[in-house]
Amino acid sequence: MQALIRYATLAASGHNTQPWRFVIGDNTLEIHPDYTRRLPAVDPQNRELWISLGCALENLLIAARAVGYAPEVTYPEKSWRLAITSNMASSRHKRKVSPLPPLGFRIPAT
């Protein structure tokens, strides 16, 4: 899971703020916004912050599929809980994963 988080953190983010926090659970990773990294002067409505979270989520999904997971994304039902949860159970216990396009290997490993 730590390696997947590393790839997620390589995502683009507004003004390189990297406004995310990850919580590791049993077969889940949660992405939470880190409001201490918000930029109210240039992003007063947190639009770029949420776009950045989406970029991190996409990197996480690409990396997870590349190593054989079948991630499923769920969003919270209550608006006050601002977490994005991705079920990271192994694809051996899930439906077969479609082949990963070469994009999975385009995430820079620096």
Q: Do the beta carbons of residue 12 and residue 58 sit within 8 Å? A: no
Maximum pairwise Cα distance, the chain: 47
Q: Choose among 102, 26, 19: nearest CA to 65.
A: 102
Intra-chain end-to-end CA distance of the chain, in Å: 18
Average pLDDT along the chain: 80
- CATH superfamily assigned to domain 2-93: NADH Oxidase (3.40.109.10)
**In whole angstroms, what is the distance from residue 26 CA to residue 19 CA?**
23
* pLDDT confidence band for 103 (50 / 70 / 90): low
* pLDDT confidence band for 75 (50 / 70 / 90): confident
